[in-house]
Amino acid sequence: MVKLDETLTMLKELTDAKGIPGNEREVREVMRKYIEPFADEITNDGLGSLIAKKVGKEGGPKIMVAGHLDEVGFMITQIDDKGFLRFQPVGGWWGQVMLAQRVTIVTRKGDVTGIIGSKPPHILSAEARKKPVEIKDMFIDIGASSREEATEWGIRPGDMVVPYFEFTVMNNEKMLLAKAWDNRIGCAIAIDVLRQLKGVDHPNVVYGVGNVQEEVGLRGAKTATYKIQPDIGFAVDVGIAGDTPGISEREAMSKMGKGPQVVVYDASLVAHKGLRDLVTDTADELNIPYQFESIPGGGTDAGSIHLTHNGVPAMAITIATRYIHSHAAMLHRDDYENAVKLIVEVIKRLDRETVDKITFE
Protein backbone atom coordinates (compact mmCIF):
# COMPACT_ATOMS: atom_id res chain seq x y z
CA MET A 1 0.00 0.00 0.00
CA VAL A 2 1.30 3.43 -1.02
CA LYS A 3 2.00 5.89 1.80
CA LEU A 4 0.03 9.06 1.05
CA ASP A 5 2.04 12.28 0.90
CA GLU A 6 0.50 15.69 1.66
CA THR A 7 -0.88 16.14 -1.85
CA LEU A 8 -2.37 12.64 -2.05
CA THR A 9 -3.95 13.09 1.39
CA MET A 10 -5.65 16.28 0.17
CA LEU A 11 -6.83 14.57 -3.02
CA LYS A 12 -8.20 11.63 -1.01
CA GLU A 13 -10.14 13.93 1.33
CA LEU A 14 -11.54 15.94 -1.56
CA THR A 15 -12.68 12.90 -3.55
CA ASP A 16 -13.98 10.97 -0.54
CA ALA A 17 -16.19 13.92 0.45
CA LYS A 18 -19.83 13.59 -0.60
CA GLY A 19 -21.52 16.40 -2.50
CA ILE A 20 -23.99 16.36 -5.39
CA PRO A 21 -25.39 19.63 -6.81
CA GLY A 22 -27.20 21.53 -4.06
CA ASN A 23 -25.50 19.44 -1.32
CA GLU A 24 -21.89 20.64 -1.45
CA ARG A 25 -21.36 21.56 2.22
CA GLU A 26 -19.06 18.62 3.09
CA VAL A 27 -16.83 19.25 0.07
CA ARG A 28 -16.76 22.99 0.73
CA GLU A 29 -15.52 22.36 4.26
CA VAL A 30 -12.65 20.18 2.97
CA MET A 31 -11.68 22.76 0.35
CA ARG A 32 -11.85 25.55 2.92
CA LYS A 33 -9.58 23.61 5.28
CA TYR A 34 -6.89 23.31 2.63
CA ILE A 35 -7.14 26.73 0.95
CA GLU A 36 -7.61 28.95 4.02
CA PRO A 37 -3.89 29.01 5.02
CA PHE A 38 -3.05 30.62 1.67
CA ALA A 39 -5.95 33.09 1.43
CA ASP A 40 -6.35 36.62 2.78
CA GLU A 41 -10.12 36.27 2.93
CA ILE A 42 -12.74 33.52 2.52
CA THR A 43 -16.32 34.32 1.52
CA ASN A 44 -19.30 32.52 -0.08
CA ASP A 45 -21.86 33.56 -2.62
CA GLY A 46 -25.56 33.10 -1.86
CA LEU A 47 -25.68 29.59 -3.34
CA GLY A 48 -22.69 28.35 -1.34
CA SER A 49 -19.75 28.65 -3.72
CA LEU A 50 -16.47 29.13 -1.83
CA ILE A 51 -14.38 32.19 -2.77
CA ALA A 52 -10.79 32.47 -1.46
CA LYS A 53 -9.09 35.80 -2.15
CA LYS A 54 -5.29 36.24 -2.39
CA VAL A 55 -3.99 39.78 -2.90
CA GLY A 56 -0.76 40.21 -4.85
CA LYS A 57 -1.24 43.85 -5.78
CA GLU A 58 -4.12 45.77 -4.21
CA GLY A 59 -6.31 47.15 -6.99
CA GLY A 60 -4.68 44.88 -9.59
CA PRO A 61 -6.64 42.83 -12.13
CA LYS A 62 -8.93 40.20 -10.61
CA ILE A 63 -8.11 36.67 -11.76
CA MET A 64 -10.61 33.86 -11.07
CA VAL A 65 -9.46 30.21 -10.97
CA ALA A 66 -12.54 28.06 -10.49
CA GLY A 67 -13.19 24.38 -9.98
CA HIS A 68 -16.61 23.05 -9.01
CA LEU A 69 -17.42 21.33 -5.74
CA ASP A 70 -20.26 19.10 -6.91
CA GLU A 71 -20.13 15.58 -8.34
CA VAL A 72 -22.70 13.66 -10.35
CA GLY A 73 -24.96 11.52 -8.17
CA PHE A 74 -28.60 10.83 -7.45
CA MET A 75 -31.50 12.02 -5.33
CA ILE A 76 -34.13 9.84 -3.64
CA THR A 77 -37.61 10.59 -5.00
CA GLN A 78 -39.80 7.77 -3.61
CA ILE A 79 -39.82 4.87 -1.13
CA ASP A 80 -42.08 2.00 -2.20
CA ASP A 81 -44.08 -0.13 0.20
CA LYS A 82 -41.38 -2.86 0.17
CA GLY A 83 -38.61 -0.42 1.11
CA PHE A 84 -37.01 -0.06 -2.32
CA LEU A 85 -35.91 3.46 -3.30
CA ARG A 86 -36.65 5.24 -6.56
CA PHE A 87 -34.22 7.94 -7.55
CA GLN A 88 -33.44 10.77 -9.93
CA PRO A 89 -30.00 11.23 -11.52
CA VAL A 90 -28.47 14.61 -10.64
CA GLY A 91 -26.03 15.37 -13.42
CA GLY A 92 -25.37 13.25 -16.50
CA TRP A 93 -25.31 9.45 -16.16
CA TRP A 94 -25.00 6.68 -18.71
CA GLY A 95 -27.23 3.83 -17.59
CA GLN A 96 -24.73 1.15 -18.59
CA VAL A 97 -22.27 2.15 -15.82
CA MET A 98 -24.82 2.10 -13.00
CA LEU A 99 -26.24 -1.38 -12.39
CA ALA A 100 -24.98 -3.43 -9.41
CA GLN A 101 -22.93 -0.48 -8.17
CA ARG A 102 -22.72 0.37 -4.48
CA VAL A 103 -23.97 3.77 -3.35
CA THR A 104 -24.22 5.78 -0.14
CA ILE A 105 -27.46 7.53 0.83
CA VAL A 106 -26.77 10.52 3.08
CA THR A 107 -29.59 10.93 5.62
CA ARG A 108 -30.18 13.08 8.68
CA LYS A 109 -29.53 9.97 10.79
CA GLY A 110 -26.29 9.02 9.05
CA ASP A 111 -25.12 7.20 5.93
CA VAL A 112 -27.01 4.18 4.58
CA THR A 113 -25.45 1.72 2.11
CA GLY A 114 -27.38 0.64 -0.96
CA ILE A 115 -26.92 -1.05 -4.30
CA ILE A 116 -28.50 -0.13 -7.66
CA GLY A 117 -30.69 -2.97 -8.91
CA SER A 118 -33.09 -3.93 -11.67
CA LYS A 119 -35.16 -6.87 -12.82
CA PRO A 120 -32.71 -9.83 -13.25
CA PRO A 121 -31.90 -10.87 -16.84
CA HIS A 122 -32.82 -14.49 -16.10
CA ILE A 123 -36.54 -13.66 -16.23
CA LEU A 124 -36.38 -11.31 -19.22
CA SER A 125 -37.18 -12.31 -22.78
CA ALA A 126 -34.23 -12.87 -25.13
CA GLU A 127 -35.15 -9.62 -26.91
CA ALA A 128 -35.28 -7.60 -23.67
CA ARG A 129 -31.86 -8.91 -22.58
CA LYS A 130 -30.27 -7.31 -25.65
CA LYS A 131 -31.37 -3.83 -24.59
CA PRO A 132 -29.76 -1.69 -21.89
CA VAL A 133 -31.86 -1.24 -18.76
CA GLU A 134 -33.28 2.28 -18.64
CA ILE A 135 -32.49 4.39 -15.58
CA LYS A 136 -36.22 4.84 -14.89
CA ASP A 137 -36.49 1.06 -14.36
CA MET A 138 -33.67 0.93 -11.78
CA PHE A 139 -34.03 1.16 -8.01
CA ILE A 140 -31.80 1.26 -4.94
CA ASP A 141 -31.92 -1.69 -2.55
CA ILE A 142 -30.91 -0.87 1.05
CA GLY A 143 -32.05 -4.19 2.51
CA ALA A 144 -35.20 -2.71 4.05
CA SER A 145 -38.35 -4.81 4.26
CA SER A 146 -40.88 -1.99 4.18
CA ARG A 147 -41.37 1.74 3.65
CA GLU A 148 -41.65 2.12 7.42
CA GLU A 149 -38.29 0.46 8.03
CA ALA A 150 -36.54 2.60 5.38
CA THR A 151 -38.09 5.71 6.91
CA GLU A 152 -37.00 4.63 10.39
CA TRP A 153 -33.41 4.44 9.09
CA GLY A 154 -33.69 8.09 8.08
CA ILE A 155 -34.42 7.78 4.35
CA ARG A 156 -36.49 10.66 2.94
CA PRO A 157 -37.22 11.95 -0.56
CA GLY A 158 -34.62 14.57 -1.42
CA ASP A 159 -31.74 12.69 0.25
CA MET A 160 -28.41 12.77 -1.58
CA VAL A 161 -26.97 9.57 -3.07
CA VAL A 162 -23.31 9.32 -4.09
CA PRO A 163 -21.19 6.55 -5.61
CA TYR A 164 -19.16 4.54 -3.13
CA PHE A 165 -15.50 4.19 -4.07
CA GLU A 166 -12.19 4.23 -2.22
CA PHE A 167 -9.39 6.56 -3.37
CA THR A 168 -6.68 4.34 -4.86
CA VAL A 169 -3.11 4.90 -6.02
CA MET A 170 -2.48 2.42 -8.84
CA ASN A 171 0.63 0.23 -9.31
CA ASN A 172 1.86 3.02 -11.56
CA GLU A 173 1.85 5.57 -8.73
CA LYS A 174 1.23 8.46 -11.13
CA MET A 175 -2.19 6.97 -11.93
CA LEU A 176 -4.86 7.94 -9.39
CA LEU A 177 -8.30 6.31 -9.22
CA ALA A 178 -11.21 7.88 -7.33
CA LYS A 179 -14.82 8.90 -7.46
CA ALA A 180 -15.62 12.55 -8.16
CA TRP A 181 -12.44 13.59 -9.99
CA ASP A 182 -15.08 15.61 -11.82
CA ASN A 183 -14.40 18.02 -10.36
CA ARG A 184 -12.45 17.70 -7.13
CA ILE A 185 -9.29 17.89 -9.24
CA GLY A 186 -10.34 21.42 -10.22
CA CYS A 187 -10.78 22.31 -6.55
CA ALA A 188 -7.32 20.89 -5.83
CA ILE A 189 -5.79 22.97 -8.64
CA ALA A 190 -7.39 26.13 -7.22
CA ILE A 191 -5.98 25.28 -3.78
CA ASP A 192 -2.49 24.61 -5.11
CA VAL A 193 -2.43 27.76 -7.24
CA LEU A 194 -2.96 29.83 -4.10
CA ARG A 195 -0.43 27.67 -2.23
CA GLN A 196 2.25 28.33 -4.85
CA LEU A 197 1.51 32.07 -4.86
CA LYS A 198 2.06 32.36 -1.10
CA GLY A 199 4.91 34.80 -0.54
CA VAL A 200 5.27 35.40 -4.30
CA ASP A 201 4.98 38.82 -5.93
CA HIS A 202 2.17 38.84 -8.48
CA PRO A 203 0.52 41.88 -10.08
CA ASN A 204 -3.11 41.04 -9.40
CA VAL A 205 -5.74 39.70 -7.01
CA VAL A 206 -6.36 35.97 -7.38
CA TYR A 207 -9.57 34.21 -6.42
CA GLY A 208 -9.49 30.43 -5.89
CA VAL A 209 -13.11 29.32 -6.20
CA GLY A 210 -15.12 26.17 -5.57
CA ASN A 211 -18.38 26.65 -7.47
CA VAL A 212 -21.61 24.81 -6.71
CA GLN A 213 -24.09 23.15 -9.08
CA GLU A 214 -21.94 22.93 -12.20
CA GLU A 215 -23.32 19.52 -13.18
CA VAL A 216 -26.86 20.86 -13.52
CA GLY A 217 -26.13 23.90 -15.67
CA LEU A 218 -23.01 25.83 -14.58
CA ARG A 219 -25.12 27.61 -11.96
CA GLY A 220 -22.74 28.51 -9.13
CA ALA A 221 -20.24 29.93 -11.62
CA LYS A 222 -22.79 32.59 -12.55
CA THR A 223 -23.33 33.80 -9.00
CA ALA A 224 -19.68 33.53 -7.91
CA THR A 225 -18.50 35.41 -10.99
CA TYR A 226 -21.12 38.09 -10.47
CA LYS A 227 -19.87 38.57 -6.90
CA ILE A 228 -16.17 38.66 -7.86
CA GLN A 229 -16.52 40.55 -11.18
CA PRO A 230 -13.17 39.22 -12.42
CA ASP A 231 -11.08 40.61 -15.27
CA ILE A 232 -9.94 37.13 -16.36
CA GLY A 233 -11.52 33.72 -15.69
CA PHE A 234 -10.14 30.19 -15.77
CA ALA A 235 -12.30 27.12 -15.30
CA VAL A 236 -10.30 24.06 -14.22
CA ASP A 237 -12.04 20.76 -14.79
CA VAL A 238 -11.69 17.28 -16.25
CA GLY A 239 -11.60 16.50 -19.96
CA ILE A 240 -11.80 13.40 -22.10
CA ALA A 241 -8.81 11.05 -22.27
CA GLY A 242 -8.50 9.62 -25.76
CA ASP A 243 -6.00 6.88 -24.97
CA THR A 244 -8.21 3.86 -24.24
CA PRO A 245 -9.09 1.11 -26.74
CA GLY A 246 -11.59 2.02 -29.43
CA ILE A 247 -11.14 5.81 -29.34
CA SER A 248 -9.72 7.44 -32.47
CA GLU A 249 -7.67 10.65 -32.40
CA ARG A 250 -10.46 12.28 -34.36
CA GLU A 251 -12.82 11.59 -31.44
CA ALA A 252 -10.43 12.60 -28.63
CA MET A 253 -6.75 13.43 -29.07
CA SER A 254 -5.50 13.85 -25.50
CA LYS A 255 -3.32 11.33 -23.71
CA MET A 256 -2.92 11.00 -19.96
CA GLY A 257 0.44 12.25 -18.71
CA LYS A 258 1.06 14.50 -21.73
CA GLY A 259 0.06 17.76 -20.06
CA PRO A 260 -3.08 19.74 -19.23
CA GLN A 261 -5.63 20.34 -21.96
CA VAL A 262 -6.08 23.80 -23.42
CA VAL A 263 -9.72 23.73 -24.53
CA VAL A 264 -10.18 25.82 -27.66
CA TYR A 265 -13.89 25.05 -28.11
CA ASP A 266 -16.76 23.36 -26.30
CA ALA A 267 -20.53 23.65 -26.38
CA SER A 268 -20.50 26.43 -23.76
CA LEU A 269 -17.50 28.54 -24.84
CA VAL A 270 -15.20 29.60 -27.62
CA ALA A 271 -11.93 30.12 -25.75
CA HIS A 272 -10.81 33.76 -25.69
CA LYS A 273 -8.06 34.02 -28.30
CA GLY A 274 -5.83 36.52 -26.50
CA LEU A 275 -5.96 34.55 -23.25
CA ARG A 276 -5.40 31.26 -25.04
CA ASP A 277 -2.33 32.67 -26.79
CA LEU A 278 -0.88 33.92 -23.49
CA VAL A 279 -1.37 30.48 -21.92
CA THR A 280 0.24 28.56 -24.79
CA ASP A 281 3.08 31.10 -25.22
CA THR A 282 3.85 30.80 -21.48
CA ALA A 283 3.84 27.01 -21.68
CA ASP A 284 6.11 27.05 -24.75
CA GLU A 285 8.53 29.47 -23.06
CA LEU A 286 8.83 27.34 -19.92
CA ASN A 287 8.59 23.91 -21.60
CA ILE A 288 5.42 23.00 -19.74
CA PRO A 289 3.64 20.24 -21.70
CA TYR A 290 0.07 20.84 -22.85
CA GLN A 291 -2.45 19.47 -25.33
CA PHE A 292 -5.10 21.20 -27.42
CA GLU A 293 -8.62 19.88 -27.02
CA SER A 294 -12.04 20.63 -28.47
CA ILE A 295 -15.22 19.08 -27.12
CA PRO A 296 -18.31 19.38 -29.35
CA GLY A 297 -20.67 18.42 -26.49
CA GLY A 298 -20.65 19.50 -22.86
CA GLY A 299 -19.00 22.49 -21.25
CA THR A 300 -17.32 23.89 -18.17
CA ASP A 301 -17.87 26.75 -15.74
CA ALA A 302 -16.01 28.98 -18.22
CA GLY A 303 -19.28 28.93 -20.17
CA SER A 304 -20.98 30.86 -17.37
CA ILE A 305 -17.95 32.91 -16.32
CA HIS A 306 -17.49 34.56 -19.72
CA LEU A 307 -21.13 35.66 -19.96
CA THR A 308 -21.40 37.28 -16.52
CA HIS A 309 -21.59 41.02 -15.81
CA ASN A 310 -19.94 42.86 -18.75
CA GLY A 311 -18.35 39.71 -20.12
CA VAL A 312 -15.08 38.12 -18.98
CA PRO A 313 -12.22 36.82 -21.15
CA ALA A 314 -12.20 33.16 -20.11
CA MET A 315 -11.05 29.68 -21.01
CA ALA A 316 -10.95 26.16 -19.63
CA ILE A 317 -7.81 24.26 -18.68
CA THR A 318 -8.65 20.62 -18.07
CA ILE A 319 -7.12 17.28 -17.07
CA ALA A 320 -7.47 14.27 -19.38
CA THR A 321 -9.49 11.77 -17.33
CA ARG A 322 -10.81 8.29 -18.05
CA TYR A 323 -14.31 7.08 -17.07
CA ILE A 324 -15.81 10.39 -15.91
CA HIS A 325 -19.45 10.39 -14.77
CA SER A 326 -19.13 6.89 -13.36
CA HIS A 327 -18.25 5.37 -9.98
CA ALA A 328 -14.50 5.67 -10.54
CA ALA A 329 -12.34 7.82 -12.82
CA MET A 330 -8.60 7.83 -13.45
CA LEU A 331 -6.14 10.65 -14.07
CA HIS A 332 -2.38 11.25 -14.13
CA ARG A 333 -0.66 13.18 -11.35
CA ASP A 334 1.79 14.88 -13.73
CA ASP A 335 -1.08 16.52 -15.63
CA TYR A 336 -2.46 17.94 -12.39
CA GLU A 337 0.93 19.29 -11.30
CA ASN A 338 1.65 20.79 -14.73
CA ALA A 339 -1.76 22.48 -14.77
CA VAL A 340 -0.97 24.17 -11.46
CA LYS A 341 2.47 25.22 -12.69
CA LEU A 342 1.07 26.65 -15.93
CA ILE A 343 -1.72 28.64 -14.28
CA VAL A 344 0.65 30.08 -11.66
CA GLU A 345 3.10 31.22 -14.35
CA VAL A 346 0.29 32.78 -16.41
CA ILE A 347 -1.00 34.63 -13.34
CA LYS A 348 2.45 36.13 -12.76
CA ARG A 349 2.19 37.67 -16.25
CA LEU A 350 -1.34 39.06 -15.87
CA ASP A 351 -0.57 42.67 -14.97
CA ARG A 352 -2.92 45.50 -15.86
CA GLU A 353 -1.25 46.22 -19.21
CA THR A 354 -1.44 42.58 -20.27
CA VAL A 355 -5.05 42.20 -19.14
CA ASP A 356 -6.09 45.35 -21.00
CA LYS A 357 -4.36 44.10 -24.12
CA ILE A 358 -6.12 40.72 -23.84
CA THR A 359 -9.50 42.34 -23.22
CA PHE A 360 -9.38 44.38 -26.42
CA GLU A 361 -7.67 41.83 -28.63
Residue 213 covered by a domain? yes
Final residue belonging to a domain, choices 118, 138, 163: 163
Mean pLDDT by 10 residues, the chain (361 residues): 90 98 98 98 98 97 98 98 98 95 98 94 81 94 98 98 97 98 98 96 97 96 97 97 90 93 95 97 98 89 94 97 97 98 98 93 68
CATH number for the domain harbouring residue 109: 2.40.30.40
CA distance linking residue 159 with residue 106, whole number of Å: 6
CA distance linking residue 295 with residue 67, whole number of Å: 18
Residue 68 has a pLDDT of 98
Same domain, 62 and 81: no
- Residue 109's Cβ-count burial label (10 Å; 0-12, 13-18, 19+) is exposed
Final residue belonging to a domain, choices 163, 197, 217: 163
| Contact (Cβ atoms closer than 8 angstroms) between residue 52 and residue 209 | yes
Residue 160 has a pLDDT of 98
Residue 227 has a pLDDT of 97
CATH number for the domain harbouring residue 46: 3.40.630.10
Same domain, 64 and 211: yes
CA distance linking residue 142 with residue 109, whole number of Å: 15
Residue 37 has a pLDDT of 97
Domain that holds residue 281: 6-71+179-359
Final residue belonging to a domain, choices 163, 192, 214: 163
Residue 60 covered by a domain? yes
Same domain, 136 and 269: no
Residue 174 covered by a domain? no
Residue 241 covered by a domain? yes
Same domain, 64 and 89: no
Q: Which helix (H) or strand (E) holds 16?
A: helix 6-16
CA–CA–CA angle 89, 91, 97 (5° rounding):
65
Residue 346, C-beta contacts closer than 8 angstroms, at least 6 positions apart? 278, 279, 282
Long-range contacts of 39-43 (CB under 8 A, 24+ apart): 39/194, 39/208, 43/227
Sign of CA dihedral 6, 12, 15, 17: negative
CA distance linking residue 302 with residue 283, whole number of Å: 20
CA distance linking residue 21 with residue 47, whole number of Å: 11
Residue 253 has a pLDDT of 85
Same domain, 157 and 224: no
Amino acid found at 144 = A
Catalytic site positions:
214
Strand ranges, E, within the chain = 41-44, 50-55, 62-68, 73-79, 85-90, 102-107, 110-117, 139-141, 160-163, 168-169, 175-178, 205-211, 232-240, 261-266, 269-270, 291-295, 314-321, 329-332
Same domain, 315 and 339: yes
Same domain, 158 and 276: no
- How many structural domains is the chain composed of? 2
Same domain, 304 and 349: yes
Residue 156 covered by a domain? yes
